[in-house]
């Protein structure tokens, strides 16, 4: 089942799609199962999109991932941050702190949804959404697991690196820069400086999976190595798995790359390990 959902955060309506395991479950069926003492509540995943992204994702990666996860028995919420996709707000008005607050609310909202197992909720983020997920996780003590796909580790450096010096200077000089039709504000860029996901992830005493493509030229796989280093420094290496998809680009934009990411994530969620553990030797330089 897939259905449109919305919820309010700071007087803005955020819109998303809720995927539910099973072929023909409507709202009444979900609520009935929650009221049935013999019913088994289902695990859940909340997906966070990245910079200038939406709940659909490039090459529909979030749609395909959510449907595959639902087939495997997970309820999945994919939603648009404010100023993105179908949600209220304008892009120039958002900050990274706003997205962290919205991600936290989305997880809390789904955890209260009828039929959800509150003790089995996973937060997943791609790219800047990975940084948002890492920043959000410490405020969710009931969260079971955290998954980061090609995560941004240093928001200021990584995003301004994508924008380039000229557009970054324009945003600070005029207040707004036009990045491929997206309005990037000075306040958004300033918010990137204030958030440190590499520190936040040290406070997440929960299992963490990170997957990254070795061919990622936008947010290089060294970002994942930095996350691993942060976890090792806090003694959380046994709760951390970092895997690399050989040759894959930033959004895993090939069918075989996608499927590898989906199946490794599902295997890890169900068994605590992915299909193939492949630590990149380049990470050893950070040890």
**Domain regions of the chain by residue span:** 2-154+197-286
Residue 27, SS3 per DSSP: helix
2-154+197-286: CATH superfamily: Alpha/Beta hydrolase fold, catalytic domain (3.40.50.1820)
On whether the CB atoms of residues 33 and 48 are closer than 8 A, the answer is no
Longest dimension (CA), the chain: 61
Distance CA(130)–CA(235), nearest Å, equals: 21
Residue pLDDT tens, the chain, 287 long: 899 999 999 999 999 999 999 854 455 545 544 445 556 899 999 999 999 999 999 999 999 999 999 999 999 999 999 999 999 999 898 999 999 999 999 999 999 999 999 999 999 999 999 999 999 999 999 999 999 999 999 999 999 999 999 999 999 999 999 999 999 999 999 999 999 999 999 999 999 999 999 999 999 999 999 999 999 999 999 999 999 999 999 999 999 999 999 999 999 999 876 544 555 566 765 55
Handedness of CA 216, 220, 223, 228 (dihedral sign): positive
Q: What pLDDT was estimated at residue 40?
A: 82
Verdict on whether the full-model pTM lies above 0.95: no
Looking at residue 217, the DSSP 8-state letter turns out to be S
Distance CA(106)–CA(251), nearest Å, equals: 23
Q: What pLDDT was estimated at residue 32?
A: 47
On whether the CB atoms of residues 117 and 41 are closer than 8 A, the answer is yes
Distance CA(194)–CA(178), nearest Å, equals: 22
On whether the CB atoms of residues 251 and 126 are closer than 8 A, the answer is yes
Q: What pLDDT was estimated at residue 34?
A: 45
Name the H helices within 59-164.
61-71, 96-111, 128-136, 155-163
* Phi-psi sector, 178: left (phi>0), alpha (psi -120 to 50), beta: beta
Q: Which of 96, 200, 198 is nearest to 154 (CA)?
A: 198
Q: What pLDDT was estimated at residue 29?
A: 46
Q: What pLDDT was estimated at residue 280?
A: 54
Torsion, Cα of 209, 215, 219, 221 (10° steps): 40
């Amino acid at each position: 089942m897939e259905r449109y959902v919305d919820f309010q955060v700071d007087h803005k309506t955020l819109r998303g799609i809720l995927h539910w395991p099973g072929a023909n479950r409507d709202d009444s069926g979900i609520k009935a199962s929650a009221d049935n003492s013999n019913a088994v509540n289902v695990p859940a995943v909340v997906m966070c999109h990245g910079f200038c992204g939406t709940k659909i994702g490039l090459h529909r990666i979030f749609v395909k991932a959510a449907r595959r996860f639902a087939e495997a028995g997970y309820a999945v919420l994919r939603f648009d941050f404010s100023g993105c996709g179908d949600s209220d707000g304008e892009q120039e008005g958002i900050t990274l702190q706003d997205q962290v607050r919205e991600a936290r609310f989305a997880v809390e909202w789904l955890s209260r949804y009828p039929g959800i197992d509150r003790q089995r909720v996973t937060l997943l983020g791609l790219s800047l959404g990975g940084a948002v997920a890492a920043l959000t996780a410490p405020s969710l003590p009931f969260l079971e697991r955290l998954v980061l796909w090609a995560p941004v580790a240093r928001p200021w450096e990584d995003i301004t690196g994508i924008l380039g010096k000229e557009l970054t200077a324009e945003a600070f000089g005029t207040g707004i820069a036009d990045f491929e039709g997206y309005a990037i504000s000075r306040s958004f860029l300033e918010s990137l400086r204030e958030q440190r996901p590499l520190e936040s992830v040290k406070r997440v005493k929960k299992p963490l999976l990170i997957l990254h493509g070795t061919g990622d030229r936008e947010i290089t796989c060294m970002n994942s190595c930095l996350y691993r280093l942060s976890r090792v420094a806090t003694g959380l290496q046994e709760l951390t798995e970092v895997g690399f998809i050989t040759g894959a680009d930033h959004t895993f934009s090939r069918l075989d790359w996608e499927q590898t990411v989906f199946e490794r994530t599902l295997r890890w969620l169900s068994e605590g390990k992915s299909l193939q553990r492949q630590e990149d030797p380049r990470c050893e330089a950070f040890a």
